Amino acid sequence: MTSCRQMRDAIVATVRRQASDADRLRLEQHLSVCAACRAEKARWLLMEQLGEQAPQRLPSDARARVLCHLTSLPEQEDAVGGKARRFLPLLLASTATVGVAFVLLAVRGRHDSAIGAAGRDDAHRPRQMSVGEERAITVQAQMAGAIDSAGAHIAYPANASFSVQPGGRQVDLYAGEIDVDVAPGGAGRFRVLAPHFTVEVLGTHFLVGLDRVETLHGIVRVVEPSGQELAVVSAGQTWRLHDMRESSDTHARQTRESLPGAALAAHPAPGCPPAGPVVSRNAARTRRVASVAGADSFAAVARPVGSERIPASRAAAEQAIETTYPSADQLLAEARTVLAGGDTQRTRECIAGALDARPTTRQRAMAELLSADTLLVESRYDEALAAYRRTVNRFGEYPEGETAAFALAQLLCERGPPAEARVALDRYLARYPTGRFVEEAGKKLAKTPAP
Amino acid sequence: MAVRRDPEALKAGEAERPAWLAGCCAREPAAIAAMFREHCVTVERMISRLVGSTPDLEDLVQTTFVEAIRTINRYRGEASFATWITSVAVHVAQHHLRAGRLRRHAPLDLVPEERLASSTPDIEVQLDERRLSGRLHALLDRIPARQRVALLLFTIDGRPVEEVAALTGASQTTTRSRVFLARRALRALISADPDLSQMAESLFGRRREGTS
C-alpha cells in the first residue's frame, strides 16, 4: 500500500503536469481510497489556479493619475527617527482623541450641541474643530463652520448635514453642500458619500452637493454606490447628477442602471494628464462651442476658474454643450432604431460614436450586442456567431450577455450543426436558470435532434 | 524593511543603485516618474497577487509609491530597489487585508483585455476560471492576513522562505509557521466545500484535455 507521504510528490507533479502516466495511475488508485490526499490534491489544484490567474493591471489613465499625484507630492523631510515614527500615529491619534473629548465636553457644557454623536446636534455658530478616529461625528449646521478630519479640511454652510465616519476618511453627506480640501499623501482614498453617488479623491480641493461635484484643484472620481465609475472630474470641471439623469431618462428602462457620461466642462488640471477620454471628449466639445459661439464666449467657458465658483454663463454654456452632442445612451438608442429600419451603415456609425463617448461597461455590452445584431441583419452568419460569442465572453454577467447567449444558441439552431446548437442551449440553461429565454430555450432544446 | 545580504552582495547592491535614486530623495518629479515607470508593473503584480482582483488597485499602488517616496531615505542599497519596493507593496497589501477593506467584485474594466480576447475556444473554461478564482479569494479572505500573504508569496510566487521572511519583516521560523497554519486553514476550508474541489477537478480535467 502506498503511503500518503509518498503520494504528496505525485500530487504536486500531477497538478503541474509533470507526472508520468504510471505515477498518475498510481495516484488515482490511491486517491480513490484516501480522502485526505483528495483534499490535498484539491488544495494544490486551487493554488495552481491562483498562480495561473493573470495579474490585474492598471489601465494607462489610472497610471497617469497615480504618477500625477506622486509628482505633485509636497516636499516633506523624513526627519523623525524609525522608532519614534512608529509611535507617531499613536501619539497623534491620542492627542486628537483628547482634543475631541475636550471639545465635546466644552460643547456640551455650553449647551451648544452642533457636533456630537449621530443624529443629536445642531450648530448655532461658526466653529472650527478636529475630528478624532474612534466614533462617527455628525454635523447638522444652522450656521457655517469647518472641521478638520484626517488630513482633510471640511467647510460647510448653514443647513448642511453630514457625518464623518470613524477614521475620518469617509464623509456621508445628507443635505446641503460641503467644501472639502484633502491634503495629498493621506492614508488611502478620501470618500464623500452622497445619496446617489460617491466622490473619491486622493488629494485635492472640491465641492460636493447632493446633486453636483465641482473640482477646484486636482482630480476626483465620481462613482455609483455599486462602484461603477460615473465621471472623472478635473480641476475647473463641474459634474451634475441632474444632467446625467436627464440624458438617462430619454432612454429605455433597461439602460437606467448604466448611467452615461456626466456633463463636464473641459479644464484639465494644470500639469496633470487628462483623466481618460472624458476630458478629451469634452475638450473637443468646448472647441466646437467656441467655433459656434465666438471667441468671447469660448473665453468665458474655457477660462480656468481656480478657486472661483462657476459663473452662470458657463453653466449655461455647459448645458448648451450637453444638449448639442448626444450621449452614449442616445447614440445606442439611435443605433437600435436605425437597425430596426435595416440601415446597418448608420447603425455602425452610431455604435462607433457611442464607443467614442466614453461608455460605461454596460453600454459597451449594448454596443457589442448591437454589432452582432448588425452582422446578423447583413446575413454574415459566421461573423455574427463570433460576435455573439465575444459578447457572452466579455459581458456574460450583464443582460446583454444573456441575450447574446440565447441569440447564439438560436442562430446555431437555425444555421449550425444540431450538436453545437444543443451545447449552446444547454449552456444557456445552465448559466441562466432563471433567465428571460428559459422557456423558449427549453422548447428549442426539445426540438433539436440529439446527435 | 531591507533585506540583509552578505558584504559582497552589499557592495554589489550599492553599485547597482538606480540613477534616479538621488533625484527621488530630493523629490524631483522626473526622478519620481522614472522610478514609477520602472517599478509600476512589479508593484501592480504583487498587490494583485496578494489582494486578488480589486477595484482598489489604483489606491493601493498609489499608497505603495507614496510610502516608498516618503521613506526612500531609509533605502540603504542592501537589497535591490525592486526587492525593497516589493516589501513596501507587501506591507501595504497586508494592511489593506487586515483592515478588511476588501470589496470582492471585479468590474470587467479591470479584467485584462488580452485575457478576455484570448483565442481559447472554450468560453466556459474561462468563465469557470473566473468563478473559481472569486470563490478561492473568498476562502482566502477567511485566513488571517499575515498567514495569507506568507502562503501566497511562498506557494504561488514560489519565493524561498528567507525571501518571504525578509519581505514580510518576520523571522524564518515565524514565516514557516504562518505558511503551515495557512495551509492547514485552507485545507479545512476546502474540505468543507466539496463543490469547490469538484470545480477545480473539472477545470483541471478540461485544461488537460485541451493541452493534450
pLDDT of residue A319: 47
pLDDT of residue B16: 63
Q: Is A451 helix (H, G, I), strand (E, B) or coil?
A: coil
The stretch A162-184 carries a mean pLDDT of 81
Residue A313 lies in a domain: yes
Q: List the single residue in B66, B108, B200 with the smallest CB-CB distance to A49.
A: B200
pLDDT of residue B174: 92
Picking from B4, B5, B92, B77, the residue whose alpha carbon sits closest to that of residue B43 is: B92
Residue A142 in this model has a pLDDT that exceeds 50: yes
Q: Tell me the backbone φ, ψ of residue A60, rounded to 5 degrees.
A: -65, -30
Which residues is A178 bridged to in the sheet?
A208
Using the 8-state DSSP alphabet, how is residue A294 labeled?
Answer: -
Shortest CA gap A161–chain B (Å) = 26
| Co-location of A319 and A332 in the same domain | no
Residue A84 in this model has a pLDDT that exceeds 60: no
Determine which of A263-277, A306-320, A343-357, B7-21 has the lowest per-residue pLDDT on average.
Answer: A263-277
For B30-89, how does the pLDDT look when each residue is reduced to its tens digit (9 = 90+)?
A: 888 888 988 998 898 888 888 877 778 888 899 899 889 888 888 877 778 888 898 999
Whether the CB-CB separation of A255 and A362 falls below 8 Å is answered with yes
The helices-and-strands tally (H runs, E runs) of chain A is 16, 15
Contact A78 B116 (CB under 8 A): no
pLDDT of residue A281: 36
Residue A293 lies in a domain: yes
Q: How far apart are the first and last CA of chain B?
A: 45
Ranges assigned E (strand) in A278-417? none
Cα gap A147→A216, rounded to integer Å: 19
Give percent helix, percent strand, percent coil of chain A, each to the nearest 5: 50, 15, 35
| Co-location of A333 and A320 in the same domain | no
| Co-location of A232 and A161 in the same domain | yes
Residue A289 lies in a domain: yes
Residue A440 lies in a domain: yes
pLDDT of residue B115: 44
| Co-location of A139 and A240 in the same domain | yes
| Co-location of A96 and A184 in the same domain | yes
Q: List the single residue in A45, A69, A227 with the smallest CB-CB distance to B105.
A: A227
Picking from A338, A326, A328, the residue whose alpha carbon sits closest to that of residue A361 is: A328
pLDDT of residue B175: 92
- What CATH number is associated with residue A173? 2.60.120.1440
- What CATH number is associated with residue A335? 1.25.40.10
Kindly identify which residue of chain B lies nearest to residue A359, measuring between CA atoms: B109
Q: Using the structure block, give the residue that is written with the C-alpha cell 447567449.
A: A405
- Cell matching residue B10: 552589499
Contact B63 A188 (CB under 8 A): yes
Residue A70 lies in a domain: no
- Cell matching residue B137: 479569494
Tell which of A21, A34, A38, A57 to mutate to test the B interface (max B CBs under 10 Å): A57
Residue A361 lies in a domain: yes
| Co-location of A108 and A175 in the same domain | yes
| Co-location of A276 and A399 in the same domain | no
Domains, chain B, ordered by start: 1-108 (1.10.1740.10), 111-212 (1.10.10.10)
Determine which of A31-45, A183-197, A250-264, A405-419 has the lowest per-residue pLDDT on average.
Answer: A250-264
Shortest CA gap B8–chain A (Å) = 26
Q: Which residue has the higher pLDDT, A142 or B98?
A: B98
- Cell matching residue A26: 498510481
Using the 8-state DSSP alphabet, how is residue A193 labeled?
Answer: E
For A268-305, how does the pLDDT look when each residue is reduced to its tens digit (9 = 90+)?
A: 333 444 333 333 333 333 333 333 333 333 333 333 33
| Domain endpoint, select from A275, A293, A324 | A324
Cα gap A259→A230, rounded to integer Å: 7
pLDDT of residue A69: 78
pLDDT of residue B89: 92
| Co-location of A362 and A296 in the same domain | no
| Domain endpoint, select from A324, A342, A361 | A324
Tell which of A16, A50, A65 to mutate to test the B interface (max B CBs under 10 Å): A50
| Co-location of A97 and A192 in the same domain | yes
Residue A58 lies in a domain: no
Q: Which residue has the higher pLDDT, B54 or A267?
A: B54
Residue A114 in this model has a pLDDT that exceeds 70: no
| Domain endpoint, select from A271, A295, A324 | A324
Residues from chain A contacting residue B108 (CB–CB below 8 Å): 361, 394-395, 397
- Cell matching residue B207: 485544461
Tell which of B204, B208, B212 to mutate to test the A interface (max A CBs under 10 Å): B204
Whether the CB-CB separation of A24 and B111 falls below 8 Å is answered with no
| Co-location of A352 and A307 in the same domain | no
ipTM, two decimals, is 0.71
For A187-222, how does the pLDDT look when each residue is reduced to its tens digit (9 = 90+)?
A: 677 888 887 788 888 667 788 887 888 887 777 888
Give percent helix, percent strand, percent coil of chain B, each to the nearest 5: 75, 0, 25
| Co-location of A320 and A333 in the same domain | no
Picking from B8, B35, B162, B15, the residue whose alpha carbon sits closest to that of residue A66 is: B35
pLDDT of residue A53: 67
Q: List the single residue in A49, A78, A427 with the smallest CB-CB distance to B70.
A: A78
Q: Which residue has the higher pLDDT, A82 or B146?
A: B146
Contacts of A406 (CB under 8 A, 6+ apart): A428, A435, A436, A437, A440, A441
Kindly identify which residue of chain A lies nearest to residue B189, measuring between CA atoms: A43
Whether the CB-CB separation of A224 and A243 falls below 8 Å is answered with no
- Cell matching residue B84: 525593497
Mark the ranges of chain B whose per-residue pLDDT is less than 70.
Answer: 1-16, 99-130, 200-201, 203-212
Q: Is A189 helix (H, G, I), strand (E, B) or coil?
A: coil
Structural domain boundaries, residue A13: 4-45
| Co-location of A108 and A257 in the same domain | yes
The stretch A419-430 carries a mean pLDDT of 87
Q: How many domains does chain A have?
A: 3
The stretch A141-162 carries a mean pLDDT of 77
What is the torsion angle, in degrees rounded to the nearest 10, for the CA atoms of residue A427, residue A432, residue A435 and residue A438? 30
Q: Using the structure block, give the residue that is written with the C-alpha cell 453627506.
A: A173
Q: Using the structure block, give the residue that is written with the C-alpha cell 459663473.
A: A311
Residue A130 lies in a domain: yes
Shortest CA gap B110–chain A (Å) = 7
Residue A132 in this model has a pLDDT that exceeds 70: no
Residue A80 in this model has a pLDDT that exceeds 70: no
